[in-house]
Chains A and B, each alone.
Chain A
Amino acid sequence: MPCDLAPASLPPPMRFYEYESRRIVERAGIPVTDYGFAETADEARAAAGRIGGPTVIKSQVLTGGRMKAGGVKFADTPDEAAQHAEEILKLEIGGHMPAGVLVDPKAEVEQEYYAAVLWDGRAKRPMMLFSDMGGIDIEEVAEQHPDHVGRGHLSNLQPIPDFRAKEVVAAAGGLTGRELTRATPILARLAQLQRDYDMTLAEINPVARLADGSFVALDAHMEMEDEAVGRHKNMLSEIGVELEEPRETYEPSEFERNVKAIDEADHRGVIQGKDHGFDGDLGLVIGAGGGSLTLTDAIRSQGGRPANYAEIGGNPSVAKSKGLAMEVLKKDGVEKIAVMMSIVSNTRVDIVARGVIAACLELGKDPAETIAVFRIPGAWEEEGAKILGKYGIEFRDRGTSMWEAAGEAVEKVQGGG
């Protein structure tokens, strides 16, 4: 389940391969079926031989759509498992080559369930979810069968009581008596795991009830808060995670790579830039105090189409401000930029003004034509206004709301003014 409840302005979480998630779940005391991770066909054969019986060979990529792309295959013998592994290891899925394959037993499942604990960004607390309709998209279940989804929030500080997990499992319907008692520890341990390892999402889908009545995790998906990775080096090392390897879910664009390089080259302030999923014509140089998300939304609400997402703050240097603005202006189809920050900005107005004007000049553009709006309430406003005035740009302070500034920028792009 995508963690759409988390604020979008946070850095992306660290994602784990399925085999790593399996190790995390296993470590937390949640039962799993025997499995093996293989980087070669021979290793897959050996794993299938050890497991015995029919197996499932799954590509280990940090993207979805494995089944459709041919990245999940069933094998009756170890040789067949090796053959499938060989094919899957060469198969690119969504631009990703697999890190290996997971060899899983083809379990005799009586029923599939769904269990998850995710960070609820609105409630600012973890939320447990359980459904007796596992193995399928939980959002679809929540929409079409809400009575089959149990939910419950947890405290950030208090110990996690088993009875809270039991209430959530019971609320999903379908489980009573001994089954309810057996399923409850899975959700309770998942909640503990989520807290212990700062997971923004800890999901097991499906949790399977096997023929013998036991419950096991068949597939797991974990996402760790990116800022927390450093705190969990020991655990990550124990499960074999190489922290140096990139974990992006998509190949960063040239714009994203360039902005990152500019940010890393200069310790002053911070800039970030993303354009994955953006195809608009209004470049954004925005930020401060959660302003990026608000301002991006404001541009969209005003009918505009952002060309990128950005964050700028912490008093960046002129060079860094200029670097971000130049990268935004170099994007295809971008003729104008909106330079905006929220009201709590302590970033110096004059420094950012110098940066964005210098970017325009270096690219041979008229700053007055290119900067659709400059709205930064903050330090050194007077000096900033003088610089902007010299280049024919009107300075907008807190007297202009973010909504109004966004509207002004959109109007200039759409009206060509």
Chain B
Amino acid sequence: MSSAAGTFIEVVVEDSVAGDAELARKLEEVCPVDIFEATDSGVEVVAGNVDECVLCELCLDAAPDGAVVIKKLYDGTELRR
């Protein structure tokens, strides 16, 4: 599992897809605020950018259902497909 939490937002990529190079590339491409980075080992969540999340849900659309979760730390709710 790759995840990172800021003050307001936590982003989690489930283990089952975290090593998927193609998904990593897609996530890196769709996120407007650079939260995801495609690396040799799959997708990394960039800790310094998670609080920039604009809740656009493009990452949720790009990933298989349930593979990416956006947690709103300020109200305890989360976004997932």
Please report A residues at the B interface, Cβ cutoff 8 Å.
317-319, 348, 350-351, 354, 357-358, 361, 383, 386-387, 390
Complex Cα distance A317/B6, Å?
14
- Whether the pair A354, B51 counts as a contact (CB closer than 8 A) is yes
Residue of A nearest to B55 (CB): A383
- How distant is A267 from chain B, measured CB to nearest CB, in Å? 12
Beta-carbon contact of B52 and A358 below 8 Å:
no
What sequence of 0s and 1s flags, for each residue 46-62 of chain B, a beta carbon within 8 Å of any chain A beta carbon?
A: 00000110110000000
Q: Do B33 and A358 touch across chains, with their CB atoms under 8 A apart? A: no
Known contacts A318-B52, A319-B52, A358-B51, A387 near B8 by CB under 8 Å: yes
A354 touches B8 (CB 8 A): yes
Q: Are B51 and A390 in contact (CB under 8 A)?
A: no
The 8 A CB mask of B37-81 against A (1 = contact, 0 = none) is: 000000000000001101100000000000000001011000000
Closest B residue to A386 using CB positions: B75
CB distance from A404 to the nearest CB of B (A): 26
Interfacial chain B residues near A386, Cβ < 8 Å: 72, 74-75
Which residues of chain A come closer than 8 Å to B8, judged between CB atoms? Answer: 318, 354, 357-358, 387
CB within 8 Å for A354 and B54 given contacts A386-B74, A386-B75, A390-B74: no
Specify the chain A residue showing the minimal Cβ separation from B33: A317
With contacts A317-B33, A387-B74, A390-B74 known, is A351 near B54, CB below 8 A? yes
**Hey, which chain B residues are within 8 Å of A383, CB to CB?**
55
Restricting to B1-55, which residues have a CB under 8 Å from any CB of A?
7-8, 33, 51-52, 54-55
Chain B residues with CB under 8 Å of A358's CB are: 7-8, 51
Can you report 24 residue pairs joining A to B where beta carbons are below 8 Å apart? A317-B33, A317-B52, A318-B8, A318-B52, A319-B52, A348-B54, A350-B55, A351-B54, A354-B7, A354-B8, A354-B51, A357-B7, A357-B8, A358-B7, A358-B8, A358-B51, A361-B7, A383-B55, A386-B72, A386-B74, A386-B75, A387-B8, A387-B74, A390-B74
Given A319-B52, A361-B7, A390-B74, 12 other A-B contacts at CB below 8 A?
Answer: A318-B51, A318-B52, A348-B54, A351-B54, A354-B7, A354-B8, A354-B51, A357-B7, A358-B7, A383-B55, A387-B8, A387-B74
Nearest CB to that of A348 among chain B residues? B54
* Residues of chain A contacted by B72 (CB below 8 angstroms): 386
Within the assembled complex, what's the spacing in Å between the Cα atoms of A255 and B43?
38
Distance A351 CA – B33 CA, assembled complex (angstroms):
12
CB distance from A4 to the nearest CB of B (A): 40
Interfacial chain B residues near A317, Cβ < 8 Å = 33, 52
Q: How far is the CA of A348 from the CA of B74 in the complex (A)?
A: 16
**Least CB separation from A388: chain B residue:** B74
How close is A368's CB to chain B, nearest CB, in angstroms? 14
CA distance A383 to B55 in the complex (A): 10
How far, in angstroms, from A387 to B72 measured CA to CA in the complex? 9
With the chains together, A318 CA to B72 CA distance in Å? 15
Once bound together, how far apart are the Cα atoms of A361 and B72, in whole Å? 18
Within the assembled complex, what's the spacing in Å between the Cα atoms of A387 and B55? Answer: 14
Report A-chain residues with C-beta under 8 Å of the C-beta of B75: 386, 390
Q: Tell me which residues across on chain B come within 8 A of A387, comparing CB atoms.
A: 8, 74
- Nearest A residue to B75, CB-CB: A386
Please give me the residue from chain A that is nearest to B53 by CB atom: A318
B33 to chain A, nearest CB (A): 7
Closest 8 CB pairs of A and B: A390-B74, A387-B74, A386-B75, A354-B8, A318-B52, A318-B51, A317-B52, A386-B74
Q: Which residues of A contact B55 (CB under 8 A)?
A: 350, 383
Best-buried of A318, A350, A357, A386 by chain B (most CB within 10 Å): A318
Question: What CA separation (Å) do A390 and B75 show in the bound complex?
Answer: 7
Bound-state Cα–Cα, A354 to B73, Å: 12
